[in-house]
Amino acid sequence: MASNIQIANKTENAADLNHSKETIDLNHPELYLNRELSLLAFHRRVSAQVTDQTIPLLERLRFLCIASTNLDEFFELRVAGLKQKVVAGSVQVEADNLSSQETLHRISIAAHDFVEEQYRLLNEEILPALEQKGICFLKREMWTKAQSKWVRDYFDNELLPILSPIGLDLAHPFPRILNKSLNFIISLKGKDAFGRDSGMAVVQAPRSLPRFIQFPDELSEHHYELTFLSSIIHAYVEDLFPGMKVTGCYQFRVTRNSDLFVDEEEIDDLLRALEGELPGRRYGDTVRLEVPDNCPDKMIHFLLKHFKLTQEDLYQVNGPVNLNRLLALPDMVDCPDLKFPSFTPGISRHLGRNLFATIRDDDILLHHPFQSFTTVIDFVRQAATDPHVLAIKQTLYRTGPDSVLVDALVEAARANKEVTVVVELRARFDEEANIRLANRLQEAGAHVVYGVVGYKTHAKMIMVVRREDKKLQRYVHLGTGNYHDRTARLYTDYGLLTCRKDIGEDVHKIFMQLTTLGRGTKLKKMLQAPFSLHTGLIERIEREAEVARKGKPAHIMVKVNALTELKIIHALYKASMAGVKIDLIVRGICCLKPGIPGISENIHVRSIVGRFLEHTRCFYFLNEGQSEVFCASADWMTRNLLKRVEECYPIEEPALKNRVIEQGLKLYLQDNTQAWVLDKEGHYTRLIPKDDEPTISAQQTLLEQLAEKA
């Protein structure tokens, strides 16, 4: 198993750095890792899970597919954005001082190596291991006579009626190719019925059909015998061109720019503007071409020329070009021993039937997926049916297509409660779903707003206003993750249920900012982006630095998904130089370099990659023994801290604060099985327990402590 992953980032001569604390230039590019290459390194850490023999086989396949899907999005957004900058002639550089052109070149080198490794893992590890377990992908030459007859019938009845082969000539130009769709470029010999001889055609695979098909049990020697849709099309492609000879048939797939552009200064209706832009996403500028490694150069050059791509944009693969479609296999196969053991999320024992009464007694801290998201759903459902509840307000960023929370909000609106929902229409890749739920909520009578123009609303908040003893009481839920009941079983997140007066007032003020016009007012307890969160974090980092300069203990622990914001990194470097102990758990992008003598030697960075996607954002500041603990919806990135509406809330109840410190931070710092440690050169090395030390997996420990048994 490869245990070392490097961020391919060109560095200057280390001697150029002046390590004098008085004269150190914290803007020196040697101090920073490239944002895009750091993200690519995270995707490789996900892919590296495939080699972990302690992970069940179908879960290893799932990691391979997730890494492939991540890579698709990386090209659709990050690579596409860099290409746009190059075309626009942008000379802007990031903190690492790499130009967009140089970054693209290094991405190409790293991504080609990544893709080659992915297909090696598929062909040399996953497929042979699946075959040993009776799950076999059969190539055309492996089909029995009975299977060939069955495939013939499948082609005639399921494929042939919906395939539309297109010969390329003046009357039939190259068809528009959908983003990430499976296609075939065909070379032909002979003339058709009209005497045409174009020599080339394109066949587009139906998106409605699965990318691999299972043979009937009675035709299979093994429990699961499957074949790829591409193999079926290859086998009978000549039937699409009667009287002509097919001399070549090769898969290809293009990835396109999938970012949406909406000029928010020119539009008067964000929903309608996005509805107009969504269809174009499928046909954005091309950024990548994938073909099989046996595709002839002539075909490759033809495709590159047509899609206006270069050799750096070409990826020749040894297997299906749409690797991520294998993600359907684990759900198809009924082999529990090849998957992670099932579990039932824990439900807090002290929760009674009346959640409002329970919250009045004490704050509730939920740690998903180890503890059930059902508590949050019940909170909204009870609010929807409780005759004493007058109003419900909620932010929605991602909810999923069939959200039970949206059902409850619709029910509340129909019951004539005041329901206000802030729907973020620009949640990337969820725009269409969010437009539908916004329309549904409006039809039910809810007040729907789309946040603030120019700032995505990424905060996760629910506020319920209830009449109690002739006065109004606010109950709130604040979360680090989305209100999505499916991802709540896949992502680690925190959620706080409280009726503390000052927190309720702060949440009320934030909702007022989102739904009305007017200047924001100062919050009592919470920090909010884009106003007080950035400065509040820097102030707390600087406070720890000042404590350390006095010779007192100072400690910062942070868990986020990404760390890129330059002023935050500057503050962390200065705190490290002052002697503050800094432990950073950064799942994905990290532009800070730890362990540089005299600068960041007191900073330690690790990334946790495991069964669940680490998504909690929590921050700890020792504060001379009066520790502060916060949870937040925001990562430490420029976009989160300065360009989005985010919430950051304190955990003040002593027992709950201790839970976040011990379970959410210290336990992850002790993990020695799923942790990757970053060094000053930009290398990530996976920790492996020594023979004499116990193995510690934070996620497994939390499953044992908080979840129910399977």
Positive/negative CA dihedral, 273, 278, 281, 283: negative
Strand partners, 273: none
Q: How far apart are CA 701 and CA 642, in angstroms?
A: 36
Contact residues for 35 (Cβ-Cβ < 8 A; gap 6+): 94, 96, 564, 589, 591
Q: How far apart are CA 439 and CA 430, in angstroms?
A: 14
| 458 is an active site residue | yes
Helix ranges, 269-334 (H) = 270-277, 297-307, 329-332
Strand partners, 620: 557, 629
Q: Is the link from the previous residue into 330 a cis peptide, with omega within 30 of 0?
A: no
Q: How far apart are CA 441 and CA 412, in angstroms?
A: 10
Q: How far apart are CA 443 and CA 687, in angstroms?
A: 53
Which one, of 373, 352, 388, 369, lies nearest residue 475 by Cα?
Answer: 388
Helix or strand run (H / E) with residue 152:
helix 145-154
Which one, of 103, 100, 99, 95, lies nearest residue 568 by Cα?
Answer: 95
Q: Is the link from the previous residue into 206 a cis peptide, with omega within 30 of 0?
A: no
Which of 43, 367, 368, 458 does the annotation list as catalytic? 458
Question: 390 burial class (0-12, 13-18, 19+ CB within 10 angstroms)?
Answer: middle
Number of H helices, E strands in the chain: 21, 28
Cα within 13 Å of Cα(225), Cβ side: 18
Contact residues for 629 (Cβ-Cβ < 8 A; gap 6+): 618, 619, 620, 650, 651, 657, 660, 661
Q: How far apart are CA 394 and CA 421, in angstroms?
A: 5
Q: Give 20-37 as a 3 state SS string.
A: CCCCCCCCCHHHECCHHH
Residue in this structure with the two tokens 């180890």, named with its chain if needed: 370
Q: At 318, phi and psi to the nearest 5?
A: -100, 75
Q: Give 250-273 as a 3 state SS string.
A: EEEEEEECCCCCCCCCCCCCHHHH
Order of strands, sheet of 212-214, starting from the edge strand that comes earlier in the sequence: 135-137, 224-228, 212-214
Q: How far apart are CA 478 and CA 462, in angstroms?
A: 7
Q: How far apart are CA 514 and CA 409, in angstroms?
A: 18
- CA separation, residue 390 to residues 385, 387, 394, 416, 464 (Å): 10, 8, 14, 9, 8
Question: 77 burial class (0-12, 13-18, 19+ CB within 10 angstroms)?
Answer: middle
Contact residues for 22 (Cβ-Cβ < 8 A; gap 6+): none
Q: Would you name the residues annotated as active-site residues?
A: 458
